[in-house]
C-alpha cells in the first residue's frame, strides 16, 4: 500500500508540477498511515497538529517560538482550525505550509477557498485605544514597536531595524472573526520591516484586513481577500497578483495607502499594485451592504498615496468615479496622490467617468509597473516557481 501511494504521489507531482509549489507540494500532501506526514518535506521540517501523533507541537506559535535564530525553517501545519495569533520576529527565512488533501489539491476548478485545510483565526478588534496592529492574526515584524501603525500622516515612529528577510505561507486561511460591517478595525495581517509572500491563501475580515507596514515588501498570489473598509492599507510596497478582492460591503475604499517621504521611511518604495485580478461581491454580501456602483477602488490615507490597478476585472459594485476623497475633512484628492488603472474591464471597469486626477495608463506607461520595476529588481524572496 505504501509503495503504491508513493507511485501515485510521484505521478501527481510529475503531471501537475506547475499547479502548486513544485518544491513544497510533496510535503503538503496528506499521507495515509503508516507513512510519516513529513515524507517529502525539507530536512528538519517541524510538524504542527492538534491530532497527529507525529506532531512536534499542537500550536503554530509554539513551533515558531521554538526556532533558533539562525537558519531557514519550514513548518508543516496539519489539517485543523487553530485559534491563536502568530508573531514572527526572527530574521532568517520561515515557511509555513498548510496541509492539503491529495485528491483535491490539484482540482483545476478549486481555489484557496475550497482546497485549504488549515484555518488560523482570532477575534481581536480596535477598542479602548489600542493600536490597530494589536488586533492582527499574523504579525511579521522585528519588534512590538516596529509592528505599530500609529496615527497621523507619518504613523508610528520610524524603527532602525529590519525583521524577517523571507517569510512565506502556502495554502492557509487567515481569519479575523471579530469583525462585521458595524465593528471597528480588525486586522488579519501586519507585515512591517520585513519581506513576506503568500500563495493560495485567504484573508478574511471587514475593516483593515491587510496591512503592509513601513519598509515592508509583500507579494500575494492566487489568493482571496475579504473586506469592506480600507481592507488593503499600509505604508510599504504590496503587489497582489491573480487575487480575488471580495467586497463584503462598501465602506471607504478597497485601498487606503499612506505615502511618506524618504526621511520618514528611507528606502521604502511605497504603494499598492493589483494585477490580473478580480473585484467582486463576496458570497456573504447582500443587497443592503453591496449595491451597484457604491464601492470605491480606494481613498488616500494621505496625499502621497499610490494605488495602481492592472488588467483587473471589476464587477458592477464599483463606483463609476473609481476613487473618492478620504472624508469630509479632506474633500479633495490631491495631485500628489497617484491613482492609476490599465486595461480595467467588466461592468465596473469603464474608466470614462473616473475622477480627473486619476491616470489612465497607456501601454508605454504601464510597462514601468512590473514586479521588477516596483521592487527595483527581481525579489529573491518570492517563489516564482509557484504557478496557478
Cα separation, 271 vs 279, whole angstroms:
19
Query: Pairing mode, if any, of strands 271-275 and 237-241?
Result: parallel
380 domain residue, yes or no: no
271 domain residue, yes or no: yes
Q: Which helix (H) or strand (E) holds 139?
A: strand 138-140
pLDDT of residue 266: 47
pLDDT of residue 182: 59
SS3 26: helix
Cα separation, 94 vs 73, whole angstroms:
5
Q: Which of 157, 338, 134 is nearest to 265 (CA)?
A: 157
Query: Pairing mode, if any, of strands 359-360 and 189-191?
Result: unpaired
Contact predicate 245/278, CB 8 Å: yes
What's the maximum distance between 2 C-alpha atoms anywhere in the chain?
68
DSSP letters for 322-362 = -B--SBTTB-S--TTSEEEEES-BSTT---TTS-TTSEE--
Residue 189: strand pairing partners: 138
Residue 118: strand pairing partners: 80
Structural domain including 301 reads 2-374
Q: Quote the number of domains for the chain.
A: 1
164 domain residue, yes or no: yes
Query: Pairing mode, if any, of strands 306-310 and 278-281?
Result: unpaired
CATH number for 330: 2.160.20.10
379 domain residue, yes or no: no
Residue 238's alpha-carbon distances to 255, 268, 331, in angstroms, are: 11, 11, 26
User: pTM (2 decimals)?
Assistant: 0.93
pLDDT-based confidence at residue 111 (cuts at 50, 70, 90): low
User: Which residue would you say has higher pLDDT here, 105 or 385?
Assistant: 385
Residue 129: strand pairing partners: none
Across the chain, mean pLDDT equals 89
54 domain residue, yes or no: yes
For residue 378, what are the contacts with CB-CB under 8 A and spacing of at least 6?
371, 372, 384
Contact predicate 290/250, CB 8 Å: yes
DSSP letters for 266-318 = TT---EEEEES-EEEE-TT--TTTS-TT-BEEE--SSTT-EEEEES-EE-TTB
385 domain residue, yes or no: no
Cα separation, 245 vs 224, whole angstroms:
6
49 domain residue, yes or no: yes
Residue 35's alpha-carbon distances to 40, 43, 98, 117, 331, in angstroms, are: 11, 16, 18, 19, 62
Q: What is the pLDDT of residues 215-267, one digit of tens each?
A: 999 999 999 999 999 999 999 999 999 999 999 999 889 999 988 665 554 44
388 domain residue, yes or no: no
pLDDT of residue 292: 75
Does pLDDT of 129 surpass 50?
A: yes
Amino acid at each position: 500500500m505504501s509503495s503504491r501511494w508513493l507511485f501515485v504521489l510521484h505521478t501527481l507531482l510529475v503531471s501537475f508540477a506547475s499547479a502548486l509549489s513544485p518544491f513544497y507540494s510533496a510535503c503538503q500532501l496528506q499521507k495515509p498511515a503508516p507513512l510519516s506526514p513529513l515524507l517529502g518535506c525539507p530536512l528538519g521540517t517541524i510538524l504542527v497538529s492538534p491530532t497527529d501523533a507525529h506532531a512536534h507541537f499542537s500550536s503554530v506559535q509554539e513551533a515558531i517560538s521554538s526556532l533558533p535564530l539562525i537558519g531557514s525553517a519550514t513548518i508543516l501545519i496539519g489539517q485543523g482550525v487553530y485559534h491563536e495569533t502568530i508573531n514572527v520576529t526572527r530574521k532568517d527565512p520561515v515557511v509555513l505550509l498548510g496541509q492539503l488533501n491529495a485528491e483535491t489539491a490539484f482540482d483545476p476548478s478549486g481555489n484557496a477557498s475550497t482546497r485549504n485545510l488549515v484555518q488560523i483565526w482570532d477575534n481581536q478588534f480596535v477598542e479602548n485605544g489600542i493600536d490597530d496592529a494589536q488586533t492582527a492574526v499574523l504579525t511579521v515584524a522585528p519588534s512590538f514597536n516596529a509592528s505599530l501603525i500609529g496615527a497621523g500622516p507619518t504613523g508610528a515612529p520610524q524603527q532602525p531595524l529590519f525583521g524577517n528577510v523571507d517569510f512565506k505561507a502556502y495554502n492557509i486561511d487567515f481569519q479575523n472573526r471579530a469583525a462585521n460591517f458595524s465593528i471597528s478595525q480588525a486586522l488579519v495581517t501586519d507585515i512591517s520591516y520585513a519581506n513576506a509572500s503568500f500563495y493560495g491563501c485567504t484573508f478574511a475580515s471587514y475593516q483593515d484586513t491587510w496591512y503592509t507596514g513601513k519598509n515592508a515588501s509583500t507579494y500575494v498570489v492566487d489568493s482571496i481577500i475579504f473586506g469592506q473598509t480600507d481592507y488593503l492599507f499600509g505604508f510599504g510596497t504590496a503587489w497582489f497578483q491573480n487575487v480575488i478582492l471580495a467586497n463584503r460591503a462598501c465602506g471607504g475604499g478597497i485601498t487606503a495607502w499612506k505615502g511618506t517621504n524618504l526621511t520618514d521611511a528611507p528606502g521604502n518604495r511605497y504603494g499598492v499594485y493589483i494585477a490580473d485580478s478580480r473585484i467582486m461581491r463576496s458570497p456573504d454580501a447582500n443587497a443592503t451592504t453591496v449595491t451597484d456602483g457604491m464601492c470605491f477602488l480606494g481613498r488616500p490615507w494621505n496625499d502621497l498615496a499610490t494605488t495602481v490597478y492592472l488588467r483587473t476585472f471589476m464587477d458592477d459594485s464599483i463606483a463609476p468615479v473609481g476613487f473618492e476623497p478620504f472624508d469630509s475633512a479632506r474633500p479633495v484628492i490631491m495631485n500628489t496622490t497617484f491613482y492609476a488603472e490599465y486595461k480595467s474591464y467588466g461592468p465596473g471597469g469603464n474608466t470614462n467617468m473616473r475622477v480627473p486626477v486619476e491616470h489612465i495608463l497607456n501601454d508605454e506607461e504601464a510597462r514601468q509597473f512590473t514586479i521588477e520595476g516596483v521592487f527595483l529588481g527581481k525579489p529573491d524572496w518570492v517563489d516564482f516557481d509557484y504557478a496557478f
